[in-house]
Structure 1
Amino acid sequence: MANVFDAARYILLKTGEISTWKLQKLCYYAQAWTLAWTGKPLFPEDFEAWRNGPVCRPLFARHKGMYSVTEDFLPDGNIDALTADEKDSIDTVLSAYGDMEPYQLRAQTHAETPWKAARGSRDEMAFSDSVISKEAIGAYYGAL
């Protein structure tokens, strides 16, 4: 199975330089729609319901302190770990979300049930490291 770094590197190969906010949201949507379409995760890492939307902590640890990144940011990301179908799924996500600005992606994830449910009654700007379960993600996007 691929990991989040493999998927992120593939995204960066396709998009070129993007903000770390946008990379996080595109990885989230790649995971979400892969779960919806196949019932299986694209990668094993989880997303947490942070105040600025879903964040994958291992990916965040890599880009912490950076505003934007390029493909070279993840030299150990192995795009060959992704199957042709997984690459097609990511390409479809990029077609749907790739032209959106980071703040638009943030607003969209904030309006969707998986992020809101994981945060519970917390204020939108309150700290949260609650995991957004893969089951909740798959169920929500699978029903759209």
Structure 2
Amino acid sequence: MTQIRKLLTATAIAATAAAFAQGAFAQTATPAAGDAPSQAPAAAGIAQPAPAPQNLTAPQPTDPLVQKRNANAAASAEYRSAKKSANSEYKDAKKQAKTQYKSEVKDAKINRKADRQANDSEMKDQMSGQSAQQQGGAQQP
């Protein structure tokens, strides 16, 4: 019984390997005789356009667990990209708000300094006016 199982397993592996090798050689096979004239201009130095790339896609699996895994992977990738874009938008908005806050603080400091200077100069003017009145008032009597 085990000999039959080993024989069946060996033939299945050989058949799979042969099918794989045949598929691999089909992609890299040499061109047929009908394609030979198209190769001649390339050999003469005339550049040929590159063949169009082929989009090879695997057939959709019929196993529901595989379909679910693929759907979950696609949803996860979509979520990650949405999260990444939302995070970058948040960082940009935060950076802009921080810049605006810093400019407002800077303007407030400038205004406060200007107000202090105006109050100081006004107070000095008032003090010099009062001292002139006191000096002038003391001289009259």
Please state which structure has a larger fraction of its residues in strand.
1
The interval holding the TM-score normalised by the smaller chain is under 0.3
Q: TM-score, normalised by structure 1?
A: 0.16
Higher relative contact order (CA 8 A, sep 6+): 1
Q: TM-score, normalised by structure 2?
A: 0.16
Question: Bigger radius of gyration, 1 or 2?
Answer: 2
